């Protein structure tokens, strides 16, 4: 008997028929003798719908008071899902009970809309499992020390599932979704993308942080920290396929490098449309200038991603960086009103229509010329690179948003990702 955590995403929970299917699949696992904890997301479209209602009433605000209410509202989507799934499981003849984040409780910090899980008390859940029940727990949400409801950021149900699996030392956490595993890139953008049988934890971490939303990055961080056996697989196979076959399907996240395996230089391509670029022109090039520019940005709680500073001419330089697109207007205002006057910059410019495309692979550690191959392939498509950022196992470029799909396809081909793995 094993303790297994299943997570089902919004599309997998998208209708009562689909919820019935989820219940049948979970029932199959329970009847095979496993203790089952299930973490579903809100039904597809529901979180957007709920947040849309709030936006109708207050389009511009991002005050802490408003953020608190956003979490209050968004958390209800998952509450509906757990209740429906518990009913569907009962209809399958299983004993089942559902809990929201605060009932478990899943304790988080107080950063509304992007809270971090601090601890999970599994007493109540363990007692139910011991009594033979299937326990259904909301994804995406928790409670802070003042009993406020919090949510974990978009895609956060992945993190709930892995954190619960970690806290309960589950034997495995299975992330069921609308594709049958992790692909070399988003199969919706590149139809030739291939499913990876396994992917190293480090590569998955980079892919997630660079925009592959198949797993929320914090879920990968949890899996790494607590060594949670983690697999991504399809919820759209027939629910009654052989359980042993199902258990081996999809993509396994691995923690040990297999030295015998021929390692592809590039394993995957990620992209992210959520960023915007801002530039300060003609700033005096002198010690402390980067801090004078980025200090106020950090103080305003705006995350910075790629940064570039040009060589100076006549003691002046240009300084660009990217921020999340949601923070674009706020950043421009801050630069215009505060930073430009304080630094003596000549002009502030911005471009929200950019994207970041990245190649990822642990094979990049031991190969040279990977980045230049990337740049060549983009130049052959006539794509201008605006910014570059590299680390040991990834190279990212910022380009015009309109070339995103072209760039991803070209790189996918250039690095032979559409060829069967050797």
Interface contacts to ligand ASP, rule CB under 6 A? 9-10, 41-42, 47, 77, 139-140, 154-158
Stretch that binds ligand ADP, among 91-99, 163-171, 186-194, 373-381 (CB under 6 A): 186-194
CB of 156 to ligand ASP, least distance (A): 5
Q: Could you say whether residue 282 binds ligand ADP (CB under 6 A)?
A: no
Beta strands (DSSP E) in 46-201 are 96-99, 106-108, 117-120, 134-137, 141-143, 149-151, 172-177, 198-200
Residues 6+ apart with CB under 8 A from 261: none
Tokens of 10: 């919004």
Q: Is 177 in the site for ligand ADP (CB under 6 A)?
A: yes
Name the strand (E) or helix (H) holding 395.
Answer: strand 394-400
Residue 9 interacting with ligand ADP (CB under 6 A) = yes
Nearest in space to 13 (alpha carbons), one of 86, 104, 73, 72 = 86
What is the distance between the terminal CA atoms of the chain, rounded to a whole angstrom? 36
Find the binder of ligand ADP among 4, 5, 6, 10 (CB under 6 A). Answer: 10
Residue closer to Mg ion (CB basis): 9 or 361: 9
Q: Which does 47 bind (CB under 5 to 8 A by kind): Mg ion, ligand ADP, ligand ASP, none?
A: ligand ASP
Q: Is 5 in the site for ligand ADP (CB under 6 A)?
A: no
Comparing CB distances to ligand ASP, the nearer of 5 and 399 is 5
Q: Which residue is nearest to ligand ADP (CB)?
A: 9
Residue 11: contacted member of ligand ADP, Mg ion, ligand ASP, none (CB under 5 to 8 Å, by partner type): ligand ADP
What are the b/e assignments for 389-404, b being 16+ CB within 10 Å?
beeebbbbbbbebebb
**Residue span 245-274 as binding mask against ligand ADP, x where in contact by CB under 6 A, dash where not:** -----------------------x------
User: Phi and psi dihedrals of 127, rounded to 5?
Assistant: -65, -40
* Residue 415 contacts ligand ADP per CB under 6 A: no
Stretch 144-173: interaction string toward Mg ion, x if CB under 5 A? -----------x------------------
**CB proximity list for 308: less than 8 A, separation 6 or greater:** 319, 320, 321, 387, 388
| Cβ proximity to ligand ADP, 9 vs 77, nearer residue | 9
181 makes contact with Mg ion (CB under 5 A): no
b/e string for 71-99 if b means 16 or more Cβ within 10 A?
bbbbbbbbbebbebbbbbbeebebebbbb
Instruction: Report, in Å, the least distance between residue 41 CB and ligand ADP.
Output: 6
SS (HEC) of 120-155: ECCHHHHHHHHCCCEEEECCCEEECCCCCEEECCCC
* Angstrom distance (rounded) from CA 286 to CA 329: 27
Query: Residues interacting with ligand ADP, by CB under 6 A?
Result: 9-12, 41, 155, 177-179, 182-183, 185-188, 212-214, 268
């Amino acid at each position: 008997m094993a303790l297994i955590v299943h997570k089902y995403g919004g599309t997998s929970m998208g209708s009562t028929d689909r919820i019935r299917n989820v219940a049948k699949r979970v029932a199959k696992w329970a009847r095979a003798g496993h203790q089952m904890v299930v973490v579903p997301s809100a039904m597809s479209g529901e979180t957007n719908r709920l947040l849309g209602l709030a936006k109708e009433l207050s389009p511009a605000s991002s005050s802490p008071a408003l953020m608190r209410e956003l979490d209050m509202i968004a958390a209800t989507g998952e509450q509906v899902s757990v209740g429906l799934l518990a009913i569907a499981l009962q209809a399958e003849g299983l004993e089942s009970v559902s809990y929201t984040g605060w009932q478990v409780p899943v304790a988080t910090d107080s950063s509304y809309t992007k809270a971090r899980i601090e601890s999970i008390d599994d007493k109540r859940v363990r007692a139910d499992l011991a009594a033979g029940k299937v326990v259904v727990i909301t994804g995406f949400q928790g409670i802070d020390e003042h009993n406020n409801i919090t949510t974990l950021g978009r895609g956060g149900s992945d993190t709930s599932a892995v954190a619960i699996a970690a806290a309960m030392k589950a034997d495995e956490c299975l992330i069921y979704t609308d594709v049958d595993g992790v692909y070399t890139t988003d199969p919706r953008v590149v139809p030739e993308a291939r499913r990876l049988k396994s992917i190293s934890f480090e590569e998955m971490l980079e892919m997630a942080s660079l925009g592959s939303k198949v797993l929320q990055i914090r879920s990968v961080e949890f899996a790494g920290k607590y060594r949670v056996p983690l697999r991504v697989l399809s919820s759209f196979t027939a629910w009654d396929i052989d359980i042993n076959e199902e258990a081996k399907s999809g993509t396994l996240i691995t923690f040990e490098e297999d030295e015998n395996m021929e390692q592809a230089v590039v394993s995957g391509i990620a992209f992210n449309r959520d960023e915007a670029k801002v530039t300060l022109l003609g700033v005096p090039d002198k010690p402390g200038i980067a801090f004078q520019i980025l200090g106020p940005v950090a103080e305003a709680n705006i995350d910075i991603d790629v940064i570039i500073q040009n060589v100076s001419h006549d003691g002046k330089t240009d300084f660009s960086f990217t921020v999340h697109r949601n923070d674009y207007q706020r950043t421009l205002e801050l630069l215009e009103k505060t930073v430009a006057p304080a630094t003596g910059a000549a002009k502030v410019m911005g471009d929200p229509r950019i994207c970041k495309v990245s190649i990822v692979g642990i094979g990049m550690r031991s190969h040279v010329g990977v980045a230049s191959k990337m740049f060549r392939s983009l130049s052959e498509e006539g794509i201008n690179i605006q910014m570059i950022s590299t680390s040991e196992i990834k190279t990212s470029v910022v380009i015009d948003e309109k070339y995103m799909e072209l760039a991803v396809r070209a790189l996918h081909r250039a690095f032979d990702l559409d060829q069967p793995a050797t």
